[in-house]
A and B are shown apart, each in its own frame.
Chain A
């Protein structure tokens, strides 16, 4: 009798947990147009080394997020939980105004030594896949790099759990808005060779702490978690 009551109570607790977990799932797609002045209020600032200036700016009939980094690395972080197997797409528009100092000319190539000293990008967008243990957390980073060719996938010098995808390359589109769209499910499989778990957060960062230089980039119309309609 007691065992039965305990089983029923445990089942109820589990059921309530499932309901709560489902209620916590984000309403998708989540769009960040960065048009309101207080658009950054729902984002958390994460400072790594020095503070990058993130602000909402207006110009040429549009509003956007501006990131200005001077020998610094900090990002903005937004918690969003969803299943990338159901909603695999993410898109955004970005433009780079100034790249960090020739990062891949500092010492050899991307696979060379001291690569950590060159790990700066004018613009990067993170998709973070948390796990039960923090050291198993995986991350996809979409970067705009001056030198590496588009489509390059590299492992971060900081951790094997961080894979960088070069989505935009070179200086041809400097100052122009460029649209980028990625299938995070496919990218995850390509990067880690298996299906992803749930997405836990996204982040944006423009950093110049390693190259001790200056970079400037703009972002807008970030759309997270929608189905591939192609």
Chain B
């Protein structure tokens, strides 16, 4: 348990091109469809209701106050939702970009001859299997 905690990477944003691209891709992949669906639903529901009500006073009296309440809820919840999506995207991008960064660093150290030995990645890292294969290859080539 202690091992796994100390083994956790503290810095989630390592600002490598791979992480930046992954982060943006995951964020956009979540936000763009969500925005399109939400806008379509908002527009369709309120416009259809307004047309169904017909009489403008009826729309102004019944629908516009509801729309205002929905707008306030959206204004409050949207930043929270965007933050949650951003944090999830950061975590996902880190799981991909972190091991690549680590792999590159370990290989750089080995090429420089400063250290021999296996590349160590955490079991949950996406590139763990690749690191294991590189380790096996290095073992064979000794």
- Assess the A158–B61 pair: CB atoms within 8 A: yes
- Knowing A134-B46, A135-B67 are in contact, say whether A162-B60 is a contact too (CB < 8 A): yes
Q: Which chain B residues lie closer than 8 Å to A201 at the CB level?
A: 54
Q: Does A197 contact B (CB under 8 A)?
A: no
Most chain-A CB neighbours within 10 Å: which of B43, B50, B57, B58?
A: B57
Closest chain-A Cβ to B39's Cβ sits at a distance in Å of 11
Q: Does A161 contact B (CB under 8 A)?
A: yes
Partner of B56 from A44, A128, A133 at Cβ < 8 Å: A128
Question: A-side binding surface: helix, strand, loop or mixed?
Answer: strand
Interface size class of B (residues with CB under 8 A): 10 to 19
Q: Does B47 contact A (CB under 8 A)?
A: yes
Q: Which chain A residues lie closer than 8 Å to B64 at the CB level?
A: 135, 159
Closest chain-B Cβ to A48's Cβ sits at a distance in Å of 5
- Assess the A134–B55 pair: CB atoms within 8 A: no
Closest chain-B Cβ to A155's Cβ sits at a distance in Å of 11
Q: Does A183 contact B (CB under 8 A)?
A: no
Q: Mark B33-63, 1 if CB is under 8 A from A, else 0.
A: 0000000000100110111011111111101
What are 14 A-B contacts with C-beta separation under 8 Å? A46-B55, A48-B55, A48-B57, A48-B61, A74-B55, A75-B54, A128-B56, A130-B51, A132-B47, A134-B46, A134-B49, A158-B57, A161-B60, A201-B54
